[in-house]
């Protein structure tokens, strides 16, 4: 999977909105499929117009590293999921809670071009990840 650093560098070279959206869709295509067993109502993100699923797998400890996986049934949203996972997965719970990925999407030049529904769905994904990370802090 592409790292957040690589994504940021790639977005810096893309001036055109259509090129950015094509890249988002490419990121979505490269995202590993979430197993059907994980596509449950419990893992579904509420507030997204498309179907989005997120799984959280914390390691041990008072400030555990949390591994995330996700998927969507929509191409663009699947790409947004890939960016969110690059930002948060494999990080400590305290770092997840402290990092607001909405700012990241602004720096990448994406947030202002998302429809209201997609932007709300993105916020729902980020909020859920940060809330789950907070629950794992002891």
The catalytic site residues sit at 48
Q: Residue 120: exposed, middle, or buried by beta-carbon count in 10 A (0-12, 13-18, 19+)?
A: middle
CB proximity list for 49: less than 8 A, separation 6 or greater: 117, 118, 120, 121
DSSP-derived letter for residue 42 is T
């Amino acid at each position: 999977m592409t790292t957040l650093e690589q994504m940021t560098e790639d977005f810096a070279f893309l001036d055109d909105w259509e090129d950015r959206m094509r890249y988002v869709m490419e990121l979505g295509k490269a995202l590993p499929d979430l197993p059907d067993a994980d596509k449950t109502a419990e893992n579904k993100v509420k507030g997204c117009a498309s179907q989005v699923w997120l799984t959280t797998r914390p390691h041990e400890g008072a400030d555990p590293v949390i591994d995330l996986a996700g998927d969507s049934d929509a191409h663009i949203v699947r790409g947004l999921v890939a960016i969110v996972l690059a930002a948060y997965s494999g990080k400590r719970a305290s770092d997840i809670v402290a990092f607001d990925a909405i700012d990241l999407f602004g720096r990448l030049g994406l947030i202002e071009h998302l429809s209201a529904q997609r932007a709300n769905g993105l916020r729902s994904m980020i909020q859920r990840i940060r809330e789950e990370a907070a629950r794992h802090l002891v």
